[in-house]
Chains A and B, each alone.
Chain A
Amino acid sequence: MTGELRIRPVGRSACLLEVPPAWVGRLADHLRGCHHRGALPGVVDVVPGAATVLLDGAGTAALTPVLEPLLAAWSGDAHEPAGAAEPVEIPVTYDGPDLADVARQAGCGEADVVALHTRAPMAVAFCGFAPGFAYIAGLPVPLRMPRLSTPREAVPAGSVAIAEEYTGIYPRTSPGGWRILGRTTAELWNLDRDPPALLSPGARVRFVAVP
């Protein structure tokens, strides 16, 4: 397994594992499990990215000898991620300001955009940008397009939007350049909930069209 994996040092006390993007979710899940049972001494955060997993808190010199057996024992294909049991269903009203433009660029109708978006199996690749903001991977190829050249100053909370190969949902009103397909009433972030994020890395996601 370690053949396709490269470890890059990040300062004195972190390292970045570069992996094929398709492995990120499962590897991050595996390493989070190792972290929780104390097998990654010093590590305080396991942070998946698009094609990396960051281990923050311990440097390469300390971690490499620990990581090698953990990675050798891990088979990237053998395990389903722990959070994969039930997809999180996100109800979406597909009436976003960019829906028509996305349909035009994709060369199809608005109803086809909705069908593509709701039928594709999706999963959270990683989080970032804001608490509870998940980069949800699995966007069908026709819908992949760059973000808007001029970002909006205020994207309303609950906006369901796409950019490149990801879907994201704005947990609170913030500036943003993603193309807005619709809106959801799902509560993405709630500090009284454990975990506070509705969508954690590895979670499977299904978008459901609602009026």
Chain B
Amino acid sequence: MTPPTLQVLRPGLLSTVQDLGRPGFAHLGVPRSGAADPDSLLLGNRLLGNPPDAAAIETTALGIDVRLDQARWVAVTGAICRVAIAGRPADLHAPQYVPAGAPLSIGRAEHGLRAYLSVAGGIACPPVLGSRSTDTLSGIGPAPLAAGAVLPLGPAAGTPAPVDIAPRARLPETASVRLILGPRDDWFADDAIDRLFAAVYRVSIASNRVGVRLDGPEVPARHPGGLPSEGMVLGAVQIPAGGRPIVFLADHPTTGGYPVVGVVHPDDLWMVAQAAPGTTVRFRRPGSAL
């Protein structure tokens, strides 16, 4: 028996299958990958009664249009966008019923960058190293979705519990994120660190799932040249030779040779993952006022 499927009608800018990623392989050079904004993925799965690690579709900026060949409950979470099912407006952050064959359309992100389409039962393409995530850095996992792509769906758990709309924090105009200094803050003079905390950065168009590049004041290291390569973590703020910060997202390389001045607080990283190009970003010291 063939499983029920989801067919991609319009893939948008970059739509990929994402779950919670593949931790445990970083020592072999395999990025963790997974949803850039995992809170939104988890919310979608919770709304539908899916296990937390069920795979969903992560869209970027321009949404996606799909069709299911079997009626299913779905949830759209993350970026604020218009959702339509068979041409009728549908809610974000709430279970929505999609009849078999009805087009489901997720529009352009009006606030934030990445919307998640979760389907009851999850996207069931074969896992690679324990995860269905597309790793855009190394090409592991399913290819980014193209028009006409057909994805198998897993068995649905049943009718989701009724909810109104799950409250979500709204992305502020300026993402003000806590930065925990280290491990290489001693590579930077005190005034450079002060400048980093005082600066207003703007998300560069060159940002992607690997990292968010920030345009703004440069933060030069004391020493020229690189650092012996060392392990990198999610949320690390790496300062490359040019001095402009890069905040590492899900597909970041596992090791790197530029100093990491600090790491974004895990509760604040979603704001960076949802910051569209042009959004302003500021770093603040943990414990400081917003």
A residues near B, CB below 8 A? 8-14, 16, 21, 28, 32, 44-54, 56-57, 126-135, 172, 191, 195-197, 200-201
| B182 adjacent to A10 (CB under 8 Å) | yes
Residues of A within 8 A of B128 (CB): 191
* A129 & B253 in contact (Cβ 8 Å cutoff): yes
Question: Which one of A11, A16, A21, A200 contacts B231 once the chains associate, using CB atoms below 8 Å?
Answer: A16
Please indicate the chain A residues that have their CB under 8 angstroms from the CB of B25 in the complex.
Answer: 45, 131
Most buried by B among A32, A128, A172: A128
**B233 within 8 Å of A (CB atoms):** yes
Q: How far is the CA of A127 from the CA of B264 in the complex (A)?
A: 24
Contact assessment for B255 and A126 in the assembled complex, using a CB-CB cutoff below 8 Å: yes
Look across to chain A and name the residue whose beta carbon is closest to the beta carbon of B256: A128
| Total residue contacts A-B, CB cutoff 8 A | 118
Known A9-B182, A10-B183, A128-B254; judge A50-B27 contact (CB<8 A). no
- Residues from chain B with a CB closer than 8 A to the CB of A53 are 231
Q: Please state if A200 and B28 are interface contacts (CB–CB under 8 Å).
A: yes
Residues on B with beta carbons closer than 8 Å to the beta carbon of A135: 229
> Number of B residues whose C-beta is below 8 Å from A?
35
Bound complex: CA of A52 vs CA of B129, how far in Å? Answer: 25
A45–B140 alpha-carbon span in the complex (Å): 18
Once the chains bind, are A48 and B231 in contact (CB under 8 Å)?
yes
Cross-chain contact A12 with B29 (CB below 8 angstroms): no
- A57 CA / B27 CA spacing, docked (Å): 14
Which residues of B sit under 8 angstroms from A8, Cβ to Cβ?
Answer: 182-183
B54 within 8 A of A: no
CB under 8 Å from chain A, chain B span 241-281: 253-256, 260, 262-266
A197 to B140, CA, bound (A): 13
- Determine which residue in A11, A12, A32, A130 has the highest number of CB atoms from chain B within 10 A of its CB, and name it: A11
Q: Other than the known A14-B233, A49-B229, A54-B26, what 6 A-B pairs have Cβ atoms closer than 8 Å?
A: A14-B263, A32-B27, A45-B26, A47-B26, A51-B228, A56-B23
